[in-house]
Structure 1
Amino acid sequence: MDAETYLPEATSGALAAAVAGTQDPGGIPGYSELLNILFAVFEEHSVRYCVLHSWQSFAQEKLNLLDIVLHPRDLADLPNVVHSLRKHGCLPLRRADSAARSYCIELPYFQDGVLSFVRVNFICDLRVEGVEVETLLAGRLRRSDFWVSSPANEFRYLLARYGLAATIPGNLERQLKLLVEELGPPQAESIAEEVFGSKPQQDFIDSCLKGCAAEALLRLGKQTRWNRLGRNLARLVRRVLWQSLTPLRYWFHPPGLFLVILGPDGAGKSTIAQRVGETFGSLFRGYRMFHCRPFVLRRIKEAHRPLGRPHQQPARGACLSMGFLLGFLLDCWLGYVLLTKILLVRSGLVIFDRYLHDVLVDPARYRYGGPRWLALLFCRLAPPSDSLFLVLDADEEVMLCRKRDLPRNELRRQRKAYHEFTVAFPRAVLVDSSDNIEQNSANAFRAILEHLSQRSEFCPLPG
């Protein structure tokens, strides 16, 4: 199936039709609706672009990467594009790509109850790779309601892009085979000579036609790599310097997410935490889960000791309670400096099933008998300052059916206290968990995506 049969013809109502498409429980568009919205928003803002490769596979498979070349003069319109995507139900997540002078966003979509992501890489400078953006845009072709590069420019880009790479994507060989067949060996050989600066050996074109060009492309790129990079040495040096500053920038502004999940017994915290880790772990560089605190001050073998029935144990005295709370806060800080901060700097996802703030709502669980103002003060001091709190809430009957650890009156009191917590803490979000696991997960996913989208910033990259 080609692109013409996959996407409808461009009309003034294309965007409205896309938004009216079927959406999953979290209110997030499906894969086809997402692409329709993306391309319609480009047209809405008159952005000059073209999809560089793999657009032929839109109907057959769900791609996780879209390389889109963007005219440098339209770069200033990207904030408006992102704003329009949010307005029409998408939740773009901003991410800088250090591999090229580009801007990257992650676009989430729901398909068959599964949350996935498409990484859209907006490229506005390919001079290090030896390709001019204006050249790619000049020969673009219209396919239904989106623009694509011409076969010659697509072949030129793939050779330039992956001739410098250390690895080759699995679907690249098939794409090169199709392009050489469409262009013909003479024109394909001429383009390869233009990209690499020397006439390639005949076995490279033959390898493309056989669908096994990866090894030949890597070998050809290695032979001409230094010549190509030398022509853009100054730009390459600026890029390397910018990349060397990345760890320092990330230390002060970690790209990872510190997530705390709170709620009464039976709200579904453990299940939601596991679902969040499995789903968002691919968006981040893995995830790690903790219970209550990092346990830096306890031996590792004690870290997973069950709490039993803490509500049946008497509260500590005021002095012991304040000492316990101080140790709790110290453990959070040591764990943050020695463990979780490093994970966040490395773009990791940190998930806590309960945290220090849980003492405010359920002091009996921690046998805390000290003053509430001290607990509130310590919670304000707990790291990090930009953590996200998901407060799960469900009907009392639903939670009592799941767990009967709490009496009804205590459960009612905790629900009210957690509601007050979401009002007092601006980064706390109340999430309904009364339904089935799929719907509850979708509600939690939506809250996380909205937080990530809101914290995304559009920052200029070095020229």
Structure 2
Amino acid sequence: MNRVCYIVVLGPDGSGKTTIADRLAESLSKNYSVHRMNFAFGIMPSISRVLGRAPRQAVPEGKLDAGMVRPLRPAKAVLLGIWYGIDHVLGHITVRRAKPGEVIVFARSYHDFLYQRAYLKLPCVVPRLFLALGPKPDLVVTPLRDPVVINEGKPELTIDEITEQYDRITSRLSSYSYFSEIDANVGAEYAVKKIRERIGL
């Protein structure tokens, strides 16, 4: 492969996206140079840093309903959508600077603004605009798992919220030619194998 490959794994909390992204990166690193990233390209500083605020402490994983955050107020959601949207567009720099044959693997990405609970009051036109202007992934994949099983292992989201996030992902991302869904009920290794097959690596 003599081009840069850009892959995103996204989904509700507990769906296995981080595990799959980590194992995908590990698997690919045997043959390719891999750049493993989370959510943003990191070209823009975090808003907390710009405003001089201490970053919010992450809620410990496994805490009941920890992910059931209130949707942000529209103004704040728009501010974050634009701020990280600019970072996403500037991601062209990261992709262009990557070496031929390098693989960029994200767990979560700017696509999160289309489906996560915190951004329900954000007009979809905002993230869609920045996704159109930003670098195009070769593959955005969501691992499909039974919401009941997810909730039993990681109860951060209710079963209903997990189901609704999957529905939002399907309805809002299916229009993108690079979007795909993979059965992850079998396990992370199977999902990694299917991702490699779909991307041709």
Indicate the residue corresponding to 2:112 in structure 1: 358
Is 1:342 equivalent to 2:94 in the alignment?
A: no
- In 2: Cα distance, 1:378 partner to 1:321 partner: 14
What is the CA distance between 1:402 and its match in structure 2? Answer: 2.1
- Residue identity matched to 1:312: V
Secondary structure in 2 aligned to 1:352?
strand
Q: Identify unmatched segments of 5+ residues in structure 2.
A: 50-54, 60-65
TM-score normalised by length of structure 1 = 0.37
Deviation of residue 293 (structure 1)?
0.3
Identity among equivalent positions (%) equals 21
What is the distance in 2 between the residues matched to 1:428 and 1:413?
Answer: 18
Q: What is the aligned partner in structure 2 of residue 260 from structure 1?
A: 8
The 1:451/1:314 distance shift into structure 2, 3 A limit, reads closer
Q: What letter matches 1:414 in structure 2?
A: Q
Task: Report the Cα offset of residue 373 of structure 1.
Answer: 2.4
Match of 2:27 among 279, 296, 303: 279
Q: Name which one, 1 or 2, has greater alpha-carbon Rg.
A: 1
Q: Which structure has the highest helix share of the two?
A: 1
Change (3 A) 1:377 1:307: farther
RMSD: 2.5
**1:167-226 Cα distance to aligned partner (Å, 9 max, x none):** xxxxxxxxxxxxxxxxxxxxxxxxxxxxxxxxxxxxxxxxxxxxxxxxxxxxxxxxxxxx
- Superposition deviation, residue 363 in structure 1: 4.4
How many residues align? The count is 188
Measure how far apart 1:268 and its partner are.
Answer: 0.7
Aligned residue number for residue 297 of structure 1: 44
The amino acid that maps onto 2:141 is L
Q: Which of 350, 373, 392 is the matching residue for 2:125?
A: 373
What SS is found at the alignment partner of 1:391?
strand
> What secondary structure, in the 3-state scheme, does the structure 2 residue paired with 1:312 have?
coil
Q: Deviations over 1:7-47 (max 9, x none)?
A: xxxxxxxxxxxxxxxxxxxxxxxxxxxxxxxxxxxxxxxxx
Q: Distance in 1 between matches of 2:120 and 2:39?
A: 14
TM-score, normalised on structure 2?
A: 0.80
Counterpart amino acid of 1:354? R
Q: Is the 8 A contact 1:390 1:444 kept in 2?
A: no
CA distance in 1, matches of 2:145, 2:68: 21
For structure 1, the residue ranges without an aligned partner over 5 or more in a row are: 1-94, 96-253, 454-463
Larger RCO, structure (CA 8 Å, separation 6 or more): 2
Runs of 4 or more consecutive aligned structure 1 residues displaced over 3 Å after TM superposition = 304-311
State the secondary structure of the residue aligned to 1:298: coil
Q: Is the aligned partner of 1:317 residue 2:74?
A: yes
Contact 1:429 1:447 in 2 (8 A): no
**How far, CA to CA, are the matches of 1:255 and 1:433 in structure 2?**
28
Offset at 1:369? Answer: 2.8
- Counterpart contact for 2:44–2:84, Cα < 8 Å: no
